[in-house]
Amino acid sequence: MIAYYFKIFLGLFFILLGLIYIYRPNIVYKINDIIKEVFLNNSYIAMLRIKLAFLFILLGIIFFYMGITKICGN
pLDDT tens digits for range 20-40: 888 988 988 887 777 776 565
Mean pLDDT of the chain: 82
The pLDDT, as a whole number, for residue 41 is 62
Q: Which residue has the higher pLDDT, 52 or 74?
A: 52
Give the mean model confidence (pLDDT) for residues 34-57. 76
CA–CA distance from 32 to each of 10, 16, 21, 24 (Å)? 21, 17, 12, 13
Confirm if 62 and 8 have CB atoms less than 8 A apart.
Answer: no
**Domain with 23 in it:** 2-72
Query: Considering its fold, how many domains does the chain have in total?
Result: 1
Confidence of residue 60 (pLDDT cuts 50, 70, 90): very high
- Alpha carbon distance 58, 42 (integer Å): 23
- Is this prediction's pTM over 0.75? no
- Alpha carbon distance 38, 32 (integer Å): 9
